[in-house]
Amino acid sequence: MKVLLVGNGGREHALAWKIGQSSRVSQLFIAPGNAGTAEIGDNVPIEANNLPELVQFAQREKVDLVVVGPEEPLCAGLVDEFTQAGIRAFGPTRAAARIEGDKAYAKDLMRVHAIPTADARTFTKYRDARAYVASRDAGVVIKAAGLAKGKGVIVCDDPAEGLIALEKIMVERTFGPAGDTVLVEEKLTGPEVSVLCFVDGHTLYLLENAQDHKRIGEGDTGPNTGGMGAYSPTRLLNDDLLRQIEAEILVPIVDALRTDGAVYKGVLYAGLMLTAGGPKVLEFNARLGDPETQPILMRLKTDLVDVMEAVIDDRLDRITLQWDERPAVCVVMAAGGYPGSYETGKPITGLADAAAMPDVAVFHAGTHLQGKQVVTAGGRVLGVTALGKDLEAARKRCYEAVSKIHFEGAYYRRDIGAKA
């Protein structure tokens, strides 16, 4: 079968790597892809948000299955477009993807259906938001309600920081139209975890869990990023807690969306905080997380194409996921200056040496080919991922692989997985 994968990040390289392992796939296209995906399939120079051209390409090439990786085309309705064109596509519809694309909508849905989450107020006017934050006497979390590539959340230890964050989002418009509406939430405390599941019309199937590291600095300091690394599984979650999360959060939100007229099919991601009062939702994503995808897919043994088709056909209940019991760690190598301004076009060396290590995969996130030379092309450049007999062994192998790779200004956290 022919498969078209949409996207160009680390998540998409990991998806291409896994899809390419399926004996059922005869040809894999990636639009637009990166330097890493070019080694697995055929990169197609069509941007992920160019819906008409993607549909036309899939029709012309007689593509059998489309997999949509990033949130922007999902929220823009790319799955709907493919479905209307008679092409099978994996991912939620535009209406269902709103759970990620509109944080104010997601918060209202959780509030109405009593799904545990932080208390919050929604604002469209800077003056009103400022007055509310100024009246608070504790830390707050300021969130741009729209899509901001994982950077639209600012955790503030006190209201003064909250006022600065509001000005950044609503006045300076750092995140553009994503900040037209903001949420001001209470600041929760506790460890964060990521719980993902496949969802079809009537079945929900948990994937192995992971823990992301959102902050740029070691010890979870500095501004939020799209994610600086992750490991799977986390010891913070046991079977009882996962059953609670499934019963109190995942099933209710899927039911809430259905009640609202959106049948959810695809991958649902719940970013959670394990508070003293139980697990609470920080955010929902309508797709696989990045960089959680990298260690999770390193551990998945089941043919991913079979799973995706089962989701599309409402027969997820006939699938059994098989996992490598060994833990996996992913360390993101970023461009100097990220998540702020950074330079691109820096030559990368040592990729082959790192990838040649056993149980190591180097997933490209922001790379580009200049002739035969791989160069940097984004803030998060690589997601170096490794398996190990235990978490410490996986960390050691991962950082050994990282040490073999070099580009000017390379930055990475040295404590990914250490908190476990």
Summarize pLDDT for 11-48 with one digit per residue, the tens: 999 999 999 999 999 999 999 999 999 999 999 999 99
- Yes or no: say if 39 and 374 are a contact pair by the CB < 8 Å rule: no
Per-residue CA distances from 338 to 78, 153, 162, 348, 409 (Å): 29, 15, 22, 17, 10
CATH for 125-180, among 3.30.70, 3.30.310, 2.60.40, 3.30.1490? 3.30.1490
How many angstroms separate the CA atoms of 320 and 170, rounded? 46
Residue 186 is predicted with a pLDDT of 95
Residue 149 is predicted with a pLDDT of 81
Q: Which fold has domain 2-91?
A: Rossmann fold (3.40.50)
Taking all residues of the chain, what is their mean pLDDT, rounded to a whole number? 96
User: Which pLDDT band, with edges at 50, 70 and 90, does 240 fall under?
Assistant: very high
Residue 160 is predicted with a pLDDT of 96
Helical segments of 77-213, H only: 78-84, 94-101, 103-112, 126-134, 159-166
**More reliable by pLDDT, 44 or 224:** 44
User: Which pLDDT band, with edges at 50, 70 and 90, does 314 fall under?
Assistant: very high
Residue 224 is predicted with a pLDDT of 87
Question: Is residue 3 pLDDT above 80, yes or no?
Answer: yes
Residues 6+ apart with CB under 8 A from 58: 4, 66, 82, 85, 87
Question: Is residue 150 pLDDT above 80, yes or no?
Answer: no
Residue 56 is predicted with a pLDDT of 98
User: Which pLDDT band, with edges at 50, 70 and 90, does 420 fall under?
Assistant: confident
User: Which pLDDT band, with edges at 50, 70 and 90, does 378 fall under?
Assistant: very high
Give percent above pLDDT 90 in the chain.
97
Q: What is the model's pTM?
A: 0.94
Domain layout of the chain by residue ranges: 2-91, 125-180, 192-318, 328-403
How many angstroms separate the CA atoms of 274 and 224, rounded? 19
- Yes or no: say if 171 and 162 are a contact pair by the CB < 8 Å rule: no
As a whole number, mean pLDDT of residues 233-242 equals 94
Per-residue CA distances from 190 to 130, 232, 275 (Å): 27, 18, 5
Q: Which fold has domain 192-318?
A: D-amino Acid Aminotransferase; Chain A, domain 1 (3.30.470)
Q: Which of 149-158, 249-258, 289-298, 321-330 has the lowest mean pLDDT?
A: 149-158
Phi-psi region at 172: left, alpha or beta (left = phi > 0; alpha = psi -120 to 50):
alpha
As a whole number, mean pLDDT of residues 121-140 equals 96
CATH for 328-403, among 3.30.1330.10, 3.90.650.10, 3.90.600.10, 3.30.160.160? 3.90.600.10
Question: Is residue 419 pLDDT above 90, yes or no?
Answer: no
Output the CA angle 175-381-357, nearest 5 degrees. 150
How many angstroms separate the CA atoms of 44 and 115, rounded? 41
Question: Is residue 363 pLDDT above 80, yes or no?
Answer: yes
